[in-house]
């Protein structure tokens, strides 16, 4: 490991800077079996994109056994050139602990902790204890991810004071915002933004979160659909905001807007039902030189007219795509 458990927070301050992408498995087109060659290719491409890390999405139909194979290939191909995060949302505490320990042994850099759909806590003490149990089981850095997908009663799913308590765990280093409740976001930054690195995973409010709160990373999001390795403009946009070059940043922001609108149009609709259209992500990745291809069922469908909308949005925003 690159750090000890007591050093995790300090490590994250230095490492988690810029953009963190997402990683979906690739499959052979005929049998839809895991495609090791395609998976390794995509890691190499994400390194070229300039991301500091990428997070393995574990909600796209894979089994834990398949996730273990994917993790091994990702870590081996990354060779420390890009951080590898495993998203923990398995159905039992025991399985989450097993996968966390596997990720640590395999050489992952961090874990993203969220909550499975069969977890229905009666109070926030149970959420706290669930989270603490998993964090104490591993030495890896942990990213908290309160999300609209959590079946919890609070409008922001987990109240900021409870997240503040979790931020004190030795290896909790960051949080990805997964709920669009603006007052809650401000409360999170106010209560524990000095303890851990909080990420807003969309680019529409980067000027606010970077300039007002000092946000140092954004993700995990499929930024690879918004740029190409030859023109890593999302990385450049984030850096422009951090440098205070606002006029140049706004010119670039509006240039990107056509593809942003197309992606959000479909993504927000399906996210409201608790699932992103990962097939859209795979198709978009194929257009920028990644493996692309089909995902196994069950999945949401990306219809031909939606594919064409994404293509045209990319072209309108000035991207040089592959298809």
68 inside domain: yes
How far apart are the C-alpha atoms of 310 and 94, rounded to whole Å? Answer: 40
101 inside domain: yes
pLDDT digits (tens, 9 = 90+) for 285-302: 999 999 999 999 988 999
pLDDT band at 53 (very low <50, low <70, confident <90, very high): very high
Q: Is it the case that residue 274 has pLDDT exceeding 90?
A: no
174-270-29 Cα angle (round to 5): 90
Confidence at residue 320, expressed as pLDDT on a 0 to 100 scale: 96
259-261-265 Cα angle (round to 5): 120
- Are residues 57 and 322 in contact, defined by beta-carbon separation less than 8 angstroms? no
279-88-8 Cα angle (round to 5): 125
- Are residues 321 and 288 in contact, defined by beta-carbon separation less than 8 angstroms? yes
Nearest residue to 238 via CA among 268, 211, 272: 211
249 inside domain: no
Q: Is it the case that residue 270 has pLDDT exceeding 80?
A: no
Confidence at residue 79, expressed as pLDDT on a 0 to 100 scale: 97
Q: Is it the case that residue 1 has pLDDT exceeding 90?
A: no
**What CATH number is associated with residue 223?**
3.20.20.70
Q: Is it the case that residue 242 has pLDDT exceeding 90?
A: yes
- Are residues 130 and 160 in contact, defined by beta-carbon separation less than 8 angstroms? no
Nearest residue to 104 via CA among 130, 129, 136, 132: 136
Q: Is it the case that residue 323 has pLDDT exceeding 90?
A: no
Confidence at residue 268, expressed as pLDDT on a 0 to 100 scale: 76
- Percentage of residues of the chain with pLDDT beyond 90: 93
Specify the residue for token string 């301050």. 13
Long-range contacts from 118-124, C-beta under 8 angstroms, 24+ separation: 118/91, 119/150, 119/151, 120/151, 121/152, 124/152, 124/154, 124/158, 124/159, 124/162
140 inside domain: yes
Q: Is it the case that residue 305 has pLDDT exceeding 90?
A: yes
Q: Tell me which residue range forms the domain holding 152.
A: 5-238
Burial class of 6 by CB neighbour count within 10 A (0 to 12, 13 to 18, 19+): exposed
b/e per residue 253-269 (b: at least 16 CB within 10 A): beebebbbebbeebbee
Average pLDDT in the chain: 96
- Are residues 289 and 45 in contact, defined by beta-carbon separation less than 8 angstroms? yes
Mean pLDDT, residues 201-205: 97
How far apart are the C-alpha atoms of 65 and 102, rounded to whole Å? Answer: 11
Q: Is it the case that residue 269 has pLDDT exceeding 90?
A: no
pLDDT band at 266 (very low <50, low <70, confident <90, very high): confident
b/e per residue 188-201 (b: at least 16 CB within 10 A): bbeebbebbbbbbb
The pTM (predicted TM-score) of the whole model is 0.96
123 inside domain: yes
Sheet containing 172-176: give its strands across.
Answer: 197-199, 172-176, 141-144, 110-113, 83-88, 53-56, 18-23, 217-218
Mean pLDDT, residues 137-161: 95
How far apart are the C-alpha atoms of 223 and 51, rounded to whole Å? Answer: 9
How far apart are the C-alpha atoms of 270 and 101, rounded to whole Å? Answer: 32
Q: Is it the case that residue 273 has pLDDT exceeding 80?
A: no
- Are residues 1 and 15 in contact, defined by beta-carbon separation less than 8 angstroms? no
132 inside domain: yes
134 inside domain: yes
As for how many domains the chain has, the answer is: 1
pLDDT digits (tens, 9 = 90+) for 75-127: 999 999 999 999 999 999 999 999 999 999 999 999 999 999 999 999 999 99
- Are residues 98 and 122 in contact, defined by beta-carbon separation less than 8 angstroms? no
pLDDT digits (tens, 9 = 90+) for 163-195: 999 999 999 999 999 999 999 999 999 999 999
């Amino acid at each position: 490991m690159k750090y000890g458990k007591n050093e995790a927070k300090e490590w994250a301050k230095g490492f988690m800077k810029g953009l963190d992408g997402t990683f979906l498995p690739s499959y052979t087109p005929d049998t839809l079996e895991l495609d090791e060659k395609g998976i390794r290719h995509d890691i190499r491409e994400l390194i070229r994109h300039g991301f500091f890390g990428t997070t393995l999405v574990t909600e796209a139909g894979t089994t834990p056994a398949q996730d273990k194979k994917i993790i091994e290939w990702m870590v081996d191909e990354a060779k420390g050139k890009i951080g590898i995060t495993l998203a923990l949302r398995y159905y039992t505490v025991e399985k989450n602990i097993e996968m966390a320990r596997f990720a640590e042994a395999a050489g992952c850099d961090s874990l993203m902790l969220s909550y499975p759909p069969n977890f229905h806590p009666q109070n926030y003490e149970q959420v706290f204890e669930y989270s603490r149990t998993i964090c104490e089981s591993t030495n890896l850095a942990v990213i908290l991810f309160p999300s609209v997908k959590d079946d919890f009663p609070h409008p922001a799913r987990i109240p900021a004071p409870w997240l503040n308590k979790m931020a004190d765990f030795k290896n909790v280093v960051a949080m990805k915002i997964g709920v669009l409740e603006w007052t809650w976001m401000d409360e999170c930054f106010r209560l524990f933004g000095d303890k851990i690195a909080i990420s807003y995973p969309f680019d529409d409010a980067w000027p606010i979160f970077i300039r007002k709160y000092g946000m140092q990373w954004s993700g995990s999001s499929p930024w690879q659909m918004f740029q190409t390795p030859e023109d890593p403009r999302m990385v450049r946009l984030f850096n422009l905001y951090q440098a205070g070059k606002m006029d140049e940043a706004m010119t670039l922001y509006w240039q990107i807007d056509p593809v942003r609108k197309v992606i959000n149009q479909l993504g927000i609709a399906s996210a409201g039902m608790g699932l992103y259209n990962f097939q859209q992500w795979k198709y978009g990745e194929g257009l920028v030189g990644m493996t692309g291809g089909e995902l196994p069922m069950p999945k949401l469908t990306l219809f031909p007219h939606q594919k064409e909308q994404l293509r045209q949005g990319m072209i309108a925003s000035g991207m040089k795509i592959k298809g």
